[in-house]
Structure 1
Amino acid sequence: MTEDLIPQKTRAAAWFRDLRDQIVTAFEGLEASHTCGPLSDRAPGTFELTETSRSSDDGSDAGGGLMSVMRGGRVFEKVGVNISTVYGTLAPRAQAAMAARKGIPGMSDDPRFWASGISLVAHLQNPHAPAVHMNTRMFWTPHAWWFGGGSDLNPCLEYAEDTAHFHATQQAHLDPHGAGHYPKLKAWADEYFYIPHRNRARGVGGIFMDDHSTGDWEADFALTQDIGRAFLPAYIPLVEKRRATDWSDADKDTQLVHRGLYAEYNLVYDRGTKFGLETGHDANAVLMSLPPLAKWI
């Protein structure tokens, strides 16, 4: 049995909220500063905020979160930045999945859980500007606790220098925690963000970890924070560089087809999507990651 970690849970949830605030401010700044190039004549996009809640079988409080979504902006066609803190007891199906995947005994005897995190997906107006995904989270049960998450870049029109910048920035944030972290998390992302039925990756990779628990909560939380801190400096310069590039109908078509791959992955393979739906969280928040438009050949 693990201790309740109440102070640590409070700190983690507060960090995810602070990271959300930083990202929302930065993204609205991109909208406001886009004053030349395609769609710059539009009003800048802003986030709409919606409180979300998790349902429980007995009607008791089971937590919730905040869904922040921007649609139809100058730069972002759709972007969501969600935070949540949910708790309660895992249903039998989720207990079995947790026990099988993580090797945690005793879930059926004490199926309590607590989870908090941030999840972000951005789909850009300009096909030359890359889509991106990021999430970090903490999960607790009476039997174990761990951190997870990462970020990965999903361009439909790849620029090698953009890919290099994204990865180099992540490595710079991970290396202070040990030289082995970046290559391990990069390889994990390459494996995780792969679409088996298409025999291809969904993007150009990034970093990813799950089940991360060394037993040193402070060290593991610090690593998780730096995964989050890496996101804005890794991503914002790429959008600033590409947002004013003119695009063709063929470019837009390529973008819509690529978004189809993204939708397939999230609906078929993504663990976060499955967990959110199985534990009764707000379906709109869980499926926020889906693009506004996509195309299949």
Structure 2
Amino acid sequence: MSAQPTATQAAPDALADQVPQVRAYLLGLQARIMDALDAIEAQAAGAGQTVARSLIDPWSKEPGEALQGDGITRIIEGGQVFERAGCGFSHVRGPRLPPSATQHRPELAGAPFEAMGVSLVFHPRNPYVPTVHMNVRMIAARAPDLGPDAPAHCWFGGGMDLTPYYGFLEDVQHFHRCCHDALQPFGADKYPRFKQWCDEYFYLRHRGEQRGVGGIFFDDFAELGFAQSLGLLQSVGDAFLGAYLPIVQRRRHTPWGERERAFQLYRRGRYVEFNLVWDRGTHFGLQSGGRTESILLSMPPLVAWSYQREDGPETPEAALVREFLQRRDWLAEAHAPGSAEAPQK
């Protein structure tokens, strides 16, 4: 989406007051989300089964490293519902913005920066439950030639998007409705703009495919001023659980077998390709010297590639690509093609 980046300016003292506020919100968001997943895993565990709980892993950068700061990684691995579900909080400071962050802001090339955010990717075990991604973040930087007392340029980014393996129209519409409602208080233009941005961003150019059914995405955003832009970010973060967990609860009991599992692993390959080849967030983390273990939290635990895989035209696997991995106005389609049914055994 060819939108010009914007930034809001904050005086040094004002930014110092705002950083703890943003940090506290992000830490609370991470805790709420992962506590909710822990509750689902506890609910799903049968008698005699070990309940998968999220590992809490605080970390901090070592003295002398170019990037300084700290964070908390929370991750579930091997759960009944979530095969791998990671949610990371990070708050880092660095001497130079990496190239991935300055391609739209050449005046800030080489600027010292501060960045904080929450990023998650959940890979469910059941192929009928979609993978989901959500991220909210803030970056502040000062032009390198203006000194430490210059106003900081602050901007926000984030969004959420859904990647199903078997498509259900009611799930997609529910997810997009929650995205729409989160943005509506900030202007009727925000959802269509951010939906288009998401469709354009989460696109595998080397495959000519959408990564999933989209959602919302925004970057380099500060056009509402600091307070309102932060409010928009918080509204997106707060909407996540309501957008995703009803889909999880609706689909996690759907029977599945080897056929569905093989297709899930195959489609996960597209997820890996996008994150490593195209994703600006992954590039930002690696280029800035971030914590690799946390940056690659988005990777699925198992994945497979098949050479020139073909699915029959009447199969739900083919329907995913034909009907769901398309740029569609999901909320306007009252009579869109129906959802995929479980394949016949």
Q: Whole-Å Cα distance in 1 between the matches of residues 269 and 204 of structure 2?
A: 12
2:101 is aligned with 1:98: yes
2:301 is aligned with 1:292: yes
The one-letter amino acid of 2:85's match is: V
Q: Which residue of the partner structure matches residue 184 of structure 1?
A: 193
Q: Which runs of 5+ in 2 are unaligned?
A: 1-8, 144-152, 307-345
Q: Whole-Å Cα distance in 2 between the matches of residues 107 and 61 of structure 1?
A: 16
SS state at 1:43 partner: coil
Q: Which residue of the partner structure matches residue 17 of structure 1?
A: 27
In the TM superposition, residue 44 of structure 1 has moved relative to its aligned partner by 2.2
Q: Whole-Å Cα distance in 1 between the matches of residues 58 and 236 of structure 2?
A: 26
The one-letter amino acid of 2:121's match is: V
Q: Whole-Å Cα distance in 2 between the matches of residues 131 and 97 of structure 1?
A: 25
SS state at 2:58 partner: strand
Q: Which residue of the partner structure matches residue 107 of structure 1?
A: 109
2:281 is aligned with 1:275: no
The one-letter amino acid of 1:122's match is: F
Q: TM (normalized to structure 1)? A: 0.92
Report which stretch shifted further, 5-14 or 112-121.
5-14
Q: Whole-Å Cα distance in 2 between the matches of residues 2 and 8 of structure 1?
A: 9
Q: TM (normalized to structure 2)? A: 0.79
2:11 is aligned with 1:3: yes
2:95 is aligned with 1:89: yes
The 8 Å contact of residues 42 and 74 in structure 1, kept in 2 or not, is answered as: no
In the TM superposition, residue 60 of structure 1 has moved relative to its aligned partner by 7.1
Q: Which residue of the partner structure matches residue 64 of structure 1?
A: 70
- Runs (4+) of structure 1 exceeding 4 A deviation are none
2:241 is aligned with 1:232: yes
2:53 is aligned with 1:50: no
In the TM superposition, residue 170 of structure 1 has moved relative to its aligned partner by 1.1
Q: In the TM superposition, what are the counterparts of 1:154-165 in structure 2 within 5 Å?
A: 154-165=163-174
Q: Whole-Å Cα distance in 1 between the matches of residues 264 and 72 of structure 2?
A: 29
The 8 Å contact of residues 52 and 282 in structure 1, kept in 2 or not, is answered as: no
The one-letter amino acid of 2:40's match is: L
Deviations 1:166-185 (A, max 9, x none): 00011111111111111111
Decide which structure has the larger Cα Rg and report it. 2
Q: Which runs of 5+ in 1 are unaligned?
A: none
Q: Whole-Å Cα distance in 2 between the matches of residues 148 and 76 of structure 1?
A: 26
Question: How many percent of aligned residue pairs carry the same amino acid?
Answer: 38
Instruction: Provide the aligned C-alpha RMSD in A.
Output: 1.8
In the TM superposition, residue 237 of structure 1 has moved relative to its aligned partner by 0.2
SS state at 1:152 partner: strand
Residue 59 to residue 194, structure 1, CA distance change in 2 (3 Å): closer
The one-letter amino acid of 1:105's match is: E
The 8 Å contact of residues 53 and 282 in structure 1, kept in 2 or not, is answered as: no
In the TM superposition, residue 54 of structure 1 has moved relative to its aligned partner by 3.7
The 8 Å contact of residues 2 and 141 in structure 1, kept in 2 or not, is answered as: no
SS state at 2:206 partner: helix
Q: Whole-Å Cα distance in 1 between the matches of residues 245 and 33 of structure 2?
A: 10
Report which stretch shifted further, 167-176 or 117-126.
167-176
